[in-house]
Structure 1
Amino acid sequence: MNLHGTAQIGKNEHLWIGGADTVELAKKYGTPLYLYDVALIRNRAKGFKKAFEEKGIGYQVAYASKAFSSIAIFQLMNQEGLSLDVVSGGELYTALQAGFPADRIHFHGNNKSPAELEFALKSHIGCIVVDNFHEIHLLKTLGEKLNQKVNILLRLTPGIEAHTHDYIITGQEDSKFGFDLGNGQADKALQEVLKSFQFNVLGVHCHIGSQIFETDGFTLAIDKLFSHFKSWNNDFGYFPDVVNLGGGFGIQYTDEDTPLKPEQYVMAMIEEVTKQMSKFKDKKMPEIWIEPGRSLVGDAGTTIYSIGSQKEIEGVRHYVSVDGGMTDNIRPALYQAKYDAYVANKMNETMTNIVSIAGKCCESGDMLIWDLALPKVNDSDYLAVTCTGAYGYSMANNYNRIQRPAVVFVEDGEEQLVVKRETYEDLIRQDLPLKTKVFV
């Protein structure tokens, strides 16, 4: 049994998180219900920062907000002194409404609209991660229009694709993101931004993948980047002040996953950058930026469901249905993502029944977990699916006109509702009635 953060078996054999009884929270706020272990998030943030600070390295740890965006989570990240990575005007707006300092916001994306870029510039955010030549031209025009110099990072594609235990040297060349290092795009982009007065080129960015359990891929990426820095320094007189190495640090969804501690990823990065910098005696050590998202909030999240109907097909399968599914966690349907789960009100009972957890959507593919060991259950029980803090609420949807769940933060025995459950009225709020005889 893998219990994360402050999760434990407490009174009445219930699952407790953050000093709160998850069963009582489910009864109070309804289900499905997203619960977040705030102490786990704080500890994970401190772990990433500590490694940089112990080595005296300039850094920024930017929360990749696509993992889970809300006013409360942005305020929490601000409390922990993190920066913020946003990828849309909506995420940027939410961050500003949360009071997040604009100068610690970085804007990503492969197709930022002119309106989004203008919003970012007028908000005076920290930097924009430039993804393509079209964006360079848009930013140059907007910078001139607003009489504003634009802080940028160039997103580079280093040709390294990480698959948990496998690093492919050429695979990432075929990517919708960034300027390719291997075909001259990156050199051309750097020349273009350096010759324009509108840009302050802080440095570069790369991202090699997600759910990574080893450090080899980051080491390879750093090696490739610094090989190009040598030619950039010689040919263009440019050396970056910032090297953003992205995120992708893995978490343990099931026993199959073996992630490292946050500081292990960071220490490997620092060691390789320091090694590479020994070749540049006259250059200052660049700041190292990273962008953890999933690894900050993923295993801090647990979704509580009410168990409903069951269907047992002798010799084939035993289905147990819950009151959520692909509307609150679409990852199993999209990616065949795997999760662990427990009966929140029967944590000590023997798990002898093999069942499959079905969602309530009118889709045969709405299955959350296949072949899960549980005790005997009935419609008064609650299922707790672990590690749903990343890409659960942020990818939630209203398929079948199902409302999005509520979100509750728990810490030190205190609870706080941070996102209200949607109502039926919310579902039709943007609908407009048909005009009389409009199609006659």
Structure 2
Amino acid sequence: MTQTITSQRPFEANRDAESPNRNLTPITTELDDTDRLVVGGCRLSDLAERYGTPLYVLDEATVRATCRAYRQALEKHYAGPSLPIYASKANSSLVMSSLAASEGLGLDAVSAGELLTALRGGMPGERMVLHGNNKSDEELLLAYANKVTIVVDNQHDLDRLAELVPAGAEPARLMLRFTPGIECHTHEYIRTGHLDSKFGFDPDQVEPVLRSLVGQPWAQLTGLHAHIGSQIFELEPHRDLAAVMADKLKLARDLGHPVSDLNVGGGLGIRYVESDDPPSIEQWIQVVAEAVTTACQERGLELPRLMCEPGRSLVATAGVTLYSVGSRKTIPNVRTYVAIDGGMSDNPRPITYQSLYTCCLADRPLAKSDESVNLVGKHCESGDVLLKDLPLPTTESGDIVTVFATGAYNASMSSNYNRIPRPAAVLVHDGAAELVQKREQPDDLLRYDVLPERFNALR
């Protein structure tokens, strides 16, 4: 899809082009000469008309800019080798895997599905890691066969790998994950660094595990991993993490393990609403890099390859979701409900995490708000509320609503609740839109249903 749009100007929002993760909108967001919203050179209401709604829209330029921001910040602030790894759980697709691979990033996966998606998207196995607290034999073998580093999360991982790696074969590349015991002020469901977590070995288990792996022919321990949470705005916990990890790095090397990689996880937050104030990518990287460098120097350690795992901060602001306005219900002196044609099946974060978003009308983004509404979905749940007490211009049926910063954990957490098909997704760049995910159809939802033969006799 190619458009000619004249007199474009940057969308009038609080934006910082040098720090892509601080934006409320994709970096290519503009207004056309009629003040309608344009992303990647494509008018959003035209995309809605062509592809239907709900529709995920991903801006290629923003994804590439954030990939480069991570890579360049590491090169600038860290003297040793480095590798940013895309946390694909944020948005796992062939196109995201291909974009990350083409920008020189690695990728982390947590399932056979994410592994296959990344591999078929062109991500080299050598630049990938496999996470997970309950990996299947299928997942372990798939990772091993493709030279993917396996992040061992518990004793079960070690026991299975000891059985699965053939005698005399190349050892599995391992990265040991442990909980560092660091708390962050984030939602309790996305805290992973404190001791009471399903992820990773406890700190007092690390030394026995390291000792048990000495001399094992099936295992080559090449890295250590820890992660302290998600949607984090604080910097101090990352300084604390570096010291904890450096202690474990010294222990591992003293025991003879060729540990060359230190993976500090991800977790950098993004700006969903104006009141959010996350650090920039470069600020976050600078703090992490300086902390790791100092911690290693204090312990006389050669600098490891520094790895981090951005997910949300890499792809969230690259995405917007388009919806069509449908029904409307006004309860005098109480509330007005404006319903859209999607909701909790394509964005479960508000009902799950009470997450907040910013939105506007695609063809009237600068119109003044004259009412406060609850923007609700079409699902059979009272809690299916996308945005509460939202200031909006008065809407009409058919208006296109644009919700910003939906590139992460929307498509990847979507469902078929109420048997509603998942949306299509398009990639926009330089005025062209390309389909990267087909829209599901109602018949698609029946593909794996099986009706026992005896039920046919009753029909």
Question: Which residue in 1 is equivalent to 2:146?
Answer: 123
Tell me the equivalent position of 2:17. none
Aligned residues: 433
State which drifts further: 392-401 or 143-152.
143-152
Distance 1:86 1:170 in 2: 17
Among 219, 222, 228, the alignment partner of 1:199 is: 219
Q: Which residue of 1 aligns with 2:432?
A: 414
State how 1:79-98 maps to structure 2 within 5 Å: 79-98=102-121
Worse overlay, 95-104 or 70-79: 95-104
> Identity, % of aligned pairs?
42
> Which digits, 9 at most, give the CA deviation of each residue in 1:385-435, with x for residues without a partner?
111110100111111111100000111111111000001221111122331
Task: Give, in angstroms, the shift of residue 199 of structure 1.
Answer: 1.1
Query: Which of these residues, 295, 306, 313, is aligned with residue 276 of structure 1?
Result: 295
- 2:406 corresponds to: 388
The range that moved more, 19-28 or 425-434, is: 425-434
Deviation at 1:147, TM superposition (A): 2.0
Contact residue 174 and residue 223 of structure 2 kept, 8 A: yes
Alignment equivalent of 2:381, drawn from 363, 368, 375: 363
Deviation, structure 1 residue 19? 1.1
The counterpart of 1:70, out of the listed 69, 93, 99, is 93
State how far apart, in whole Å, the 2-side matches of 1:57 and 1:415 are: 39
Residue 210 (structure 2) aligned to one of 190, 194, 197: 190
Give the whole-Å Cα distance in 1 for the aligned partners of 2:117 and 2:361: 35
Distance in 1 of aligned mates of 2:409 and 2:338: 23
Deviation at 1:261, TM superposition (A): 1.2
d(CA) in 2 for partners of 1:413, 1:179: 49
Aligned to 2:240, which of 220, 223, 229? Answer: 220
Cα separation, partners in 2 of 1:146 and 1:17, compared to 1, 3 Å? farther
Instruction: Give the CA deviation at 1:273.
Output: 1.2
Match of 1:180 among 185, 189, 202: 202
**Separation of aligned partners in 2, 1:296 and 1:203:** 23
Judge conservation of contact 1:20–1:413 (CA < 8 Å) in 2: yes
> Counterparts of 1:403 and 1:170 in 2: how far apart (Å)?
32
* Cα distance in 1, alignment partners of residues 217 and 410 from structure 2: 42
SS at match of 2:211: helix
State the SS of the aligned residue for 2:278: coil
Contact 1:208 1:248 in 2 (8 A): yes
Residue in structure 1 matched with residue 328 of structure 2 by the alignment: 310
The structure-2 alpha-carbon separation of the partners of 1:213 and 1:123, relative to structure 1 and needing over 3 Å to count, comes to same
Aligned CA distance change for structure 1 residues 303 and 107 (closer, same or farther; 3 Å): same
- Report the Cα distance in structure 1 between the residues aligned to 2:53 and 2:309, rounded to whole angstroms: 31
Q: Distance in 2 between matches of 1:29 and 1:146?
A: 54
Q: Deviations over 1:117-150 (max 9, x none)?
A: 112112222x110000110011111113582301
Deviations 1:196-217 (A, max 9, x none): 1211111200000000112111
Q: Which region of structure 1 is more displaced relative to structure 2, 210-219 or 317-326?
A: 210-219
Partner of 1:401: 419
| Aligned partner of 1:58 among 81, 86, 92 | 81
RMSD (CA atoms):
2.0
Pick closer, same or farther for the CA change 1:327–1:302 going to 2, 3 Å: same
Counterpart position of 1:247: 266
Tell me, yes or no, if structure 1 residue 377 matches structure 2 residue 377: no
Q: 1:10-49: CA deviations, max 9, x gaps?
A: 2322111111100000000000000011111111111111
Q: Cα 1:403–1:438, aligned 2, differ >3 Å: closer, same or farther?
A: closer
Query: What SS does the corresponding residue of 1:72 show, helix, strand or coil?
Result: helix
Q: Is the 8 A contact 1:194 1:201 kept in 2?
A: no
Identify which range, 38-47 or 53-62, moves more after superposition.
53-62
- Provide the C-alpha distance between the structure 1 equivalents of 2:192 and 2:46, rounded to a whole number of angstroms: 51
Q: Using a 3 Å threshold, how does the CA distance of structure 1 residues 414 and 408 change in structure 2: closer, same or farther? A: same
What is the TM-score with the length of structure 1 in the denominator?
A: 0.94
- Residues 362-390 of structure 1, C-alpha deviations (whole Å, 9 max, x = no match): 11111100011111110021100111110
How far is the alpha carbon of 1:294 from its aligned partner? 0.5
Q: Name structure 1 gaps, 5 residues minimum.
A: none
Contact 1:159 1:170 in 2 (8 A): no
Moved more, 112-121 or 170-179: 170-179
Letter in 2 for 1:400: N
Deviations 1:43-94 (A, max 9, x none): 1111111122124431111100000011111111111111010000011111
- Mapped to 2, the partners of 1:278 and 1:112 lie a distance apart of 36
Q: Is the 8 A contact 1:165 1:214 kept in 2?
A: no
